[in-house]
Amino acid sequence: MEKILEYLQNNEKAFTVAGILITLCISAISLYFTIKNNKAVHYVNSITKNRVEWIEKLRKNTSEFISILDTQNLTETLMTVDELLKYPFGSDLQKLNQIGTEIKLMLNFSDEFDRDIIKQIDLIMVAYKSFHIKMQSNLLSSKENNDPIFVPTDEVLDAQKSIDKMSSKLLSNMQIYLKSEWNRVKYESNGKIYEKETQNFDIKELQLKKNDPNYKNDLWKRFCKNSKAKCKRIFTSHQFAILVIIVACIILIYCIPSIAKDISVFFNL
């Protein structure tokens, strides 16, 4: 160390070179993090834009899907049997199947709430097919009886009520789902990571809020859930593993002389 200080005192240019090298290092590090940050911002903006478009498409598909399920005009309006026999049930069924499939493809089959919605869509499509069959049977029977005005049977009305109930439940769940996704967009647009545990907690909170307008969000539980999720992500990351290895190596290097000395003393004894 004394020789290095003596060299620096006798060579003033060394300070200039050292300053230049330090400046270059700082500039290189600054440039690296600037490029990395720009890439991250560009990535977040791209993902946010795509997610907003995805939310809008999902909202539109859900609206079209639920509108097809509205069959009240077929049973509550006075219509002749011949008019209803011309109604395009097959076309509605095909469109319902197409839109329902699109919605399912937009959802994540690995998430619990997404799977619940997918199951709801499948059950609704089965119920609508059943309603279609019962409606056709009712119409053919009315045609054979020469009934001028269509009168739905209790079986048809029960099938219709079942569809309406499932449709209302699907609408409620999709409102919660779209709200949670919009919250995710706002969260991630600020450069934050929306942890899966936090998202699941927020969905449950939205469900409670939906059922009870006076329900107040439990911010403390959300903070704990978010902190726990972040710690889990940090401790399972490869960066943390590298840090642990570096610290272990430093400790080992620091302790080697002492350990070697103790071993030497031990064997000398």
DSSP 145: T
User: How high is the pLDDT of residue 74?
Assistant: 83
Domain map of the chain by residue range?
Answer: 2-194, 243-269
Q: Would you state the pLDDT for residue 1?
A: 46
Q: What is the pLDDT of residues 143-157, one digit of tens each?
A: 888 888 888 899 999
Q: Is 191 left (phi over 0), alpha (psi -120 to 50) or beta?
A: left
What is the C-alpha to C-alpha distance for residues 88 and 242, in angstroms, rounded to an integer? 64
Q: Mean pLDDT check: name the lowest of 103-107, 166-170, 201-205.
A: 201-205
Give residue 10's pLDDT.
56
Return the residue matching tokens 């031990």.
Answer: 266
The number of residues making up the chain comes to: 269
Instruction: Convert the pLDDT of each residue in 241-258 to its tens digit.
Output: 666 777 776 676 666 556
Higher pLDDT, residue 63 or 200: 63
| The pLDDT value given to residue 187 | 76
Distance CA 154, CA 168 (A): 21
Residues 9-22: b if buried by 16+ CB within 10 A, e if exposed: eeeeeeeeeeeeee
User: Would you give the end-to-end CA distance of the chain in angstroms?
Assistant: 36
Q: pLDDT: is 199 or 84 the higher one? A: 84
Rounded to two decimals, the pTM is 0.65
